[in-house]
Amino acid sequence: MAYSDKVIEHAENPRNVGTLDKDDPNVGTGLVGAPACGDVMRLQIKVGDDGVIQDAKFKTFGCGSAIASSSLATEWIKGKKVEEAEAIRNVDIVNELNLPPVKIHCSVLAEDAIKSAIADYRAKQAAKRGAAE
Amino acid sequence: MAIQLPIFMDYHSTTPVDPRVLEEMIPYFTQKFGNAASRSHAFGWAAEEAVDYARERIAKLVGASSEKEIVFTSGATESNNVALKGVAEFYKDKGNHIITTVIEHKAVLDTCKRLEKEGFVVTYLPVGKDGRVDPAAVEAAITDKTILVSVMLANNEIGTVQPLEQIGKITRAKGVLLHTDAVQGIGKVDFDVQKMNVDLASITAHKMYGPKGVGALYVRRSKPRVRIVAQMDGGGHERGMRSGTLNVPSIVGFGKAAEIMTTEGKADNARILQLRERLRNKLMSALEECFINGSMEHRLPGNLNISFAFVEGEAMMMAIKDVAVSSGSACTSASLEPSYVLRALGVGDELAHSSIRFGLGRFNTEEEVDYVAELVIAKVKHLRDMSPLYEMHKEGIDLKSVAWVAH
């Protein structure tokens, strides 16, 4: 299968590969996918007190399109407010990377990873507030 | 010598035409272009003579007792189709049962599925962890309705060589025909239709340094005389078994390729085996958590199928894009299912997704092996650094204990 130039570019030079401290209350971690299905994404966000995503990191086990989708996702959400990041849809990723139909699930996984990281962050924040009260 | 990129290490998929093969083919396009079925003039005679010479050379390679046992086809897919459907149709009054294995090529498996729809009963024998079928299982599966056993000589993904000689003893004793898809193994491992009691064998030129689009089916003519019903109707070429004007230039090339295999195969295979072992040793000593799929003992000399745990196969292929290999990962197939061959061995889906097949051949060099080994080692490390699974593994998390959500 021929890849789009953008997929190749992201896969060869992935942005924001790495790990944030998952125990930090300001860090949300999303782990989606399954090894048996051939792709697992872990996406992490670090959110400032102003609700802006200061940093985002990912690690992905998966094909080039999966790596590119997660790399692009981290690039997009950095500097955005959590609510804005939440609004990113998989079709946006499909369009940006020109993913073929057989690779659309990679973009779905990236959207799920963002949502899952945000949910984890909110749960931690709620727990923190609960503990403070 | 400088390395030429890209490097081809996918010799199970196809092979380049040996220059000596091409040289023999060329006159048959423009000068000796006759139809081998034209019995009334010199052009036809020249073509027929060339075809018969190729037949002799191919007969010799498979160990046939007569060149009349070689039927030319368009390739091994057609050979497999003709063998299975042709035998099934001819012997259907004798029985309706066929035995094969779960790791056959799709040209055999899908032909069997078709025959099942037509009322035949097919037994698909499992293979062990080593990728080999147990001859005792073949024997146990044979009933008084069994007309044919079809077991490949060597597997295209994992390169494992089947115990064909033992199976041949059983089928011969039971009076059941034995077909083998010998495409990957011919010329590379011991094969002899007499010694192994093989009654039908499918081969193709392009896996042995000949041209694409031409294959052959060996059909035994005595003890027993095998009969098949033709699946292509027409002018009655190939003694009625396969109509269609013969592809003379390609058949000439096929013959030359077979002759080279007969005379040089042994030395070629020894050299390829040494290259394969060099690659294996380099990879296995430099990288942890790598698993070889299939038997190392009974294996094609040029095959190395390795799962690099925590690294997805297609991403790996992309990372080493200057090296042509193949993967059992679902992502490389249209079906999104990982390799059914690896599954049959009991390799878990996650490791099937991580498998890379290296297929070495006649034109690979030691320098290429060294280059590929170094590149693969670097890229596996790189991809593991960005793999969440590798990080979890390093933290001591048992990946099997994680509640993954399948998607």
Beta bridge partners of B307: B291, B355
What 3 state SS string does A97-109 have? HCCCHHHHHHHHH
CATH number assigned to the domain comprising residue A100: 3.90.1010.10
Which residue positions in chain A have pLDDT lower than 70?
1
The answer to whether the CB atoms of B314 and A64 lie below 8 A apart is yes
pLDDT at site A130: 87
Predicted local distance difference test score (pLDDT) of residue B205:
98
What is the count of residue pairs from A and B with beta carbons less than 8 Å apart? 85
- Considering only CB atoms, B387 lies closest to which of A1, A59, A109, namely A59
Catalytic hit among A37, A91, A123, A127: A37
Closest by CA position to B181, among listed B219, B223, B153, B144 = B153
User: What is the per-residue pLDDT for B178?
Assistant: 98
Q: Mean pLDDT across chain B, nearest whole number?
A: 96
pLDDT at B318 (0 to 100): 94
Look up the domain containing A78 and give its range.
5-126
pLDDT at B258: 98
- Across the interface, of B386, B390, B406, the residue whose CB is closest to A37 is B406
The model carries a pTM of 0.94
| 3-class secondary structure per residue, chain A | CCCCHHHHHHHHCCCCECCCCCCCCCEEEEEEEEHHHCEEEEEEEEECCCCEEEEEEEEEECCHHHHHHHHHHHHHHCCCEHHHHHCCCHHHHHHHHCCCHHHHHHHHHHHHHHHHHHHHHHHHHHHHHHHHC
Percent over 70 (pLDDT), chain B: 98
Quote the CA–CA distance of B181 and B63 in Å, as a whole number.
15
Any idea which of B189-203, B318-332, B381-395 has the lowest mean pLDDT?
B318-332
Q: How confident is the model at residue B164 (pLDDT cuts 50, 70, 90)?
A: very high
Q: Count of CB atoms within 10 A of residue B58's CB? A: 28
- Nearest C-alpha in A relative to B318: A64
Distance from the B212 Cα atom to the nearest Cα atom in chain A, whole angstroms = 22
Of B314, B391, B407, the CB nearest to A37: B407
Three-class DSSP category at B323: strand
- Of the residues B331, B375, B389, B399, only one is catalytic, namely B331
Q: What band does B334 get if pLDDT is binned at 50, 70 and 90?
A: low
Chain B residues with CB-CB distance to A14 below 8 A: 386
A37 is catalytic: yes
Per-residue pLDDT at B1: 62
B399, B375, B376: which is closest to B387 by C-alpha?
B399
Q: Residues of B with CB below 8 A from A102's CB?
A: 334, 336
B312 and A32 in contact by Cβ < 8 A? no
What is the CB neighbour count within 10 angstroms for residue B217? 26
For residue B388, which residues of chain A lie inside 8 Å, CB to CB? 31, 40-42, 59-61
Mean pLDDT of B311-332: 90
Residue B403: the pLDDT is 87
Please tell me which residue of chain B has the smallest CA distance to A63. Answer: B315
Selected residue with higher pLDDT from B405 and A19: A19
Categorize the per-residue pLDDT at B338 as very low, low, confident or very high, splitting at 50, 70 and 90.
confident
The pLDDT of residue A1 is 58
With beta carbons less than 8 A apart as the criterion, state whether B260 and B20 touch. yes
Report if residue A133 sits inside a domain. no
Confidence of residue B158 (pLDDT cuts 50, 70, 90): very high
Total count of domains within chain A: 1
* B350: chain A residues, CB-CB within 8 Å: 35-36, 38
Partner residue facing A61 (CB), from B312, B330, B349: B312
Q: What pLDDT, on a 0 to 100 scale, did the predictor assign at position A48?
A: 96
Does residue B112 carry a catalytic annotation? no
Contact B386 A67 (CB under 8 A): yes
pLDDT in tens, B215-257: 999 999 999 999 999 999 999 999 999 999 999 999 999 999 9
Q: Do B318 and A8 touch (CB under 8 A)?
A: yes
Q: With 80 as the cut, is the pLDDT of residue B335 above it?
A: no
A85 within some domain: yes
| Residue A97 placed within a domain | yes
For B261, what's the count of Cα atoms within 13 Å in the CB-facing half-sphere?
A: 31
Closest partner residue to A62 (CB to CB) among B312, B319, B399 is B312
Residue B67: pLDDT band with limits 50, 70, 90? very high
Mean per-residue pLDDT for B373-379? 98
Interval B170-208: pLDDT, tens:
999 999 999 999 999 999 999 999 999 999 999 999 999
Give yes or no for A2 touching B (CB within 8 A). no
Say yes or no: A40 contacts chain B, CB-CB below 8 A: yes
The pLDDT of residue B333? 61
Could you tell me the CA-to-CA distances from A11 to A15, A92, B387 in Å, in that order?
9, 18, 13
CB contact under 8 A, B318 and A64: yes
pLDDT value at residue B331:
67
pLDDT over threshold 90, residue B332: no
Most B CBs within 10 Å: which of A37, A60, A61, as the mutation test of the B interface? A61
| Confidence band, pLDDT 50/70/90 cuts, at residue B405 | confident
**For residue A131, is it within any domain?**
no
Beta bridge partners of A34: A39
A39 interfaces chain B, CB cutoff of 8 Å? yes
Contact B353 A64 (CB under 8 A): no
Q: Which residues contact B254 (CB under 8 A, 6 or more apart)?
A: B54, B58, B72, B205, B210, B211, B214, B216
- Tell me if A55 is assigned to some domain: yes
Q: Give a yes or no: residue A132 inside a domain.
A: no
Instruction: Please report whether residue A67 resides in a domain.
Output: yes
Using the beta-carbon criterion (under 8 Å), do A37 and B349 form an inter-chain contact? Answer: yes
Hey, are the CB atoms on B389 and A40 less than 8 Å from each other? yes
